[in-house]
Every structure is written in C-alpha cells, then in structure tokens.
Structure 1
Amino acid sequence: MTTSIINSQKVNNDLGNSDLRLKDIIKTLPRECFQQNRRKAWMQVLFSVFAVGLGYFILTITPWFLLPIAWIFTGTALTGFFVIGHDCGHRSFAKRRWVNDLVGHIFMMPLIYPFHSWRIKHNYHHTHTNKLDEDNAWHPITPEVFADWDKPRQSAFELFMRKRLWWVGSIGHWAVVHFDWRNFKTKDQSSVKLSVAVVVLFAAIAFPLLIATTGIWGFVKFWLMPWLVYHFWMSTFTIVHHTASDVPFVAANKWDEALAQLFGTIHCDYPRWVEFLCHDINVHVPHHISTAIPSYNLRLAYSSIKENWQPYLHNECQFSWSLMKQIVDQCHLYKTDVGYETFNEYYAKR
C-alpha cells in the first residue's frame, strides 16, 4: 500500500476552503484519455462475449465439483458485460446516443438490470460523490438515522455488517431502487419504463425456456449462480471505491467536488484476471474525475493523475479478505465531521 502525502485530516480541513476545481484536474489529463476508439470499444465487446460464451461452455462440460470455479469465471465475465453497459450509460462507449442506449440495454439485459434506471441513479452518484445524505451509492448510515429506525431494521443492518454480508448489498440496491419508475422524475419515467419492460420481457422468455430445457437445476447452474458472482463483484467494487475509515462523507455546505472525487475515490488492485475481465473498472479515480473517459483509457488517465495530483490521492489498496474485514468491521456508523464509529462504540454511549 502506497503512502499518501496528505492524510484525511488535511482533506477534512480543506473541505470548503479549497481553490482546487475539477476542471483544473481535467485540464492536466492527456487529450488521448477522452478520445473514443471504436476499435477498442468493440474489441471489448467481442472479448466479453467470448469470455461469457467460454464460461457457459465450461459450465456445460465441467464436473460438479469444479462448478464453483466455473461460476466464478462466468460471473466475473458477466461483470464485464455490466462495465460495457456502464460506459454506455456515461455515453463514453460511442458518440451516437442511440448506439449507447442499444448496446447498454443488450449487455445489461442478461443481468436483469434496467439500463436507464441504473444510468440515471448512477449519474446522480457522480454528481454527489461522498456527499452525506445525497450520495445514492454505498453511503454510510449516521447514528441519528440508525437511532430512528425500528428494532428489526437496526438488527438487519447490524447483522449485515457484523456477518460481513457486503457481497449481497448490490442485490438489495438493484431490487429496491431500479424497478419503480415513481422514484424518478417525470421526464425520466418513460425511459425507465422502457428499460424495465426490456428486462421483464427478457426474463419472461429466457427463464421459462431455460427451465424447460435444463430444469430448475439448469436455471440455478447457468443463470442464478453466475448472477450471484456478478453481484459479489458489484457489491465489492462499490463499497471499496468509496469506503475506508479515513474517507470523509461531508454535509452539502462543506462538500468540495474536486476533493471528493480525488481523495474520496479509492484505487484498489485486484488479481489481474479480474481486472482484465472487468475492463479495469477498479481504476476508478479517473472515472470520477470525468465520466467521459472510456474504460480502455482509465490506466493512462490514472498515471497522469498520480503524476500531477498525488498529494490529494487516497492510499492505494489491494483486494483481500483482510481488506474487506477491515472495512465491514470498522465502517459501521458515520458521525458527521468526526468519522466512523463501530456498533460497539455506539452502544457504549447509549
């Protein structure tokens, strides 16, 4: 883990007092970072289709005792589908909007993820990254909010963290947030309805057909288990990108856009095969500096950011079970202007 030149306390002191602007950071990036390359974009598409196809082929021939390995590979490859849809949602896959929308729907469809629902909510996350009570991705719960919950909800959240169930977090987010168009502005509801209809129609055709041809076990083997692996990576990427004991979430009146995107976004290294299948989505800092950077240019952009803005970057980390244990053991409740406290610390004050 590299050592950051500044610490979180300095970042907290700078919040609301910084002359740093996001546009100043963007100006230092090489112009190539923003250039869309159709060949690279469609090569990513072909690679992901090949990887997912290979995964399903392996699932058809592998003995039962090797199925977990095949599920992990196939689910990780399916995460690459999501990353392609992710680029489409930010309009960084293609210059034509209809191409982004079409490709985004196609690649999120097998994941039963409504494209426009996710696109709209995710762009809101980029606009309010690490802004307390506004960020709609993986945001911390304050002691005040926790105290207002009823006992069953408190117990469920505490169980979720103490039992280290972060890996199912994105399933709840997917189910609760993305299918009810009433949660969206009136101008966006028609787009949301379209995306919901697309995935519902896909499920209505694909799931019965899969069950009819392979049985319930085939549905579990070929769709459910890879889908759960995909959500493992979705949950893991999401929590790791913006969660550490020293990463501040601040109120709107103290929030600084540039500092939130630089210090509040964490670069984490994963096994190279995971990064390869997932199109370098772990190289996340440049994506928060500008969503116009295609995934195949993230490493180039990050090299430039490290060269020019290293003092404002959070420590890099490496994915491991000890890292996830550290996050879910320490980052329970968030006290405004103070930081995280554990459930034990919270109850000790009651």
Structure 2
Amino acid sequence: MDKRSVAAVALLAVLGAGLATAPAFAADPVTGVSVTAALPAWKKAAVRRYADTDARPDVVAAAWNAWRGGDAAIEAFLAPGGGLAKAKARHEQRLATDDKIVKRVLATTTPKSSPAVNAAAVRADRGTFSDKEYFVATGWDVAAAQDADTTTRHEIEVAKQAQADRDYVASLAANDPGDWVRAAAAVACRGDAELADFFAYGWSTAARGDTEAHRVRVSDRDAVWQHQVTTLVRLAEQAETALANADAALVDKAREDALRAWRDVSGLATSAQQGWDAERTRAATQAASWRAVVEFARTATTAQNWQGVSDQAGATGGAWRGEQEWAEAQARQWTALLDSARAAETRVATSR
C-alpha cells in the first residue's frame, strides 16, 4: 500500500471509530488526502446521533433510513429541503395537531367534571413531544375510562406541603439552568396541588424537556453547519486546483480566489467551534446542577420521594455529561478543520 493510501485509510479510520480523537483534516500536498475525504464519516456520526437521541419520531425514522442508505442518502438527509427538513415539517404538523387536541380538552373539561381527563390533559399540555403524543393516542382514552368508572371517582385531597419544599422549588424557579425546569418550578410555586404535581411528575417531565430541547437545537444547528462546510470546502478545493492550473497571467487572481475560499471555511469552522464550546459549558453547568440535586436529595427530610428524585437526578446528570462529551468531541472536530483550513491558506499564499 502506498503512502497516499495509508494516509487516507488512517484518516478515515479515525473518523469511523468515533469522535474521541480529532481527525487530521489537512489536504496534505504529499499524501493528497483532501478535507473532503474526512467529511462523510463525520456526517454519518451526526446522522446516527439523530437516530439515537432525537425526540421527534419522524426525524428518528428518517435518520435511520439515511444512516443505512450510505453517503448519498446522508447528504440528501442533511441538505436544505432534504430528508431532515421534511421530517421536521411532518413533526411540526403532528405536534400542532396534538396541541390543538390537548387545548380543546382543557377548554371543555374541569377537575370536577372529568378529573382524570383534565389532569391528563394538563400533564400533556406541560409535557414534551412524547407526552402530547401519548395523550392523544392513548392517555385520553385511559383517563376517560377512569372518569367513567364512577365507583372509583373521588376528590383528591392534597396534603399541605412543607415550607422547606416550597423554598427549594422556589430556588429552582429562580436559578435552575434549564428553561423547562424553571418554568415547571414556577408553576409549582402556585399552591399545594401544583407543588405535589411537580414532585410527582412535573420535575422529571421538565428535566426530559430540557434535555430533548437541547439535543434538537444543537443537532439541527450542526446539520446546517455540516451542509455549509461541505459546500465551502468543495469550492475551496476547486479554487486551489484552479490556482495550480492557472496561466501565469491569472495566478494572482486565482490565488486571491483560493485564499478567499479557504477563509470562508475558516470563518465557518471558527463559528462552529465556538458554538460547540458554548454548548460544552452549558451541558457542564446542567450536569453540575443535577449533581447538586442528588446531594440535596440525600439529606432532605420532608415527605417527598427523595430517593426517586435522586435516581432521576442521577440519570439526568449522566445524560448531560454525555452531552458535554459530545460537544467536546464536536469542538475538536471543528478545531481540526479550522487548523487545516488555515494551513491551506498558508499553502495557497506561498504556492507558485
């Protein structure tokens, strides 16, 4: 195997093995390995993340199809107007329909007339994608059956909640790093029933909402970057090839074009790297916050199910540590690409 082949295989092996090690993206003039060669495996990993972690069923299904379909299917999935965009549109349409149904149920039921249905609708209204979908598909019928069984209907008496719990939840409403948790905690501060619901299901639902919202946001944004960088790198490599083949009278113009093209790559890589660094910090803050919840739950003495809280907090903190590691790996990828783009700028500036 010649030097070019060895280098190419090594580069793609680094990418294919995962994201723990940043790849050498450089288009080395000796080995001939181009930046473009590194992109397919990188994109494949991003699409696999959609398949493994996204909260939107339509997106998950489309991502699995793309991942199994190879490089061309992955490109089509990530392209503007492609499989990802279409799956997101289907999801938004489904979510809008579910939202309308939930809102209608809330408007036509009360805790006295249909306690189980109303409570289930409230939970769905405050919940995530999957909570709304469950209510529309199954939860409504289950709750309606409970309401229809008049032998089991009774007014639910909510115990007086401890002041220590009120104070703790108020601190979450003010200081928790998650938008969903802060909002749920603010609702819980309204009264005993809301506080009881928060500890029963609202906190865990909001925790899931923050994690899902984060994953959707960063994955969708990176999909845009992935498509943009493919286009920019292709243009830069074409410009550099044009420089290598340019007539003497056109060399200066060709060099200017190639430099500009590689600077565009550098600019995008810088923005993406900084973006992922910010996401790493955000995920680390979330992980630390959930560690603090675990510690608080260990010493809490009120009547809440603090063991359950501790278990949920430990799992959620673990999920955020995973998000932190993913962000770190992505930042390394973009840093490697930035280094390669800058090396290309230097190479272009000093060539011929």
With normalisation by structure 2, the TM-score equals 0.24
Max Rg structure: 2
- The structure showing larger relative contact order (alpha-carbon pairs under 8 Å, at least 6 residues apart) is 1
Higher helix proportion, which one?
Answer: 2
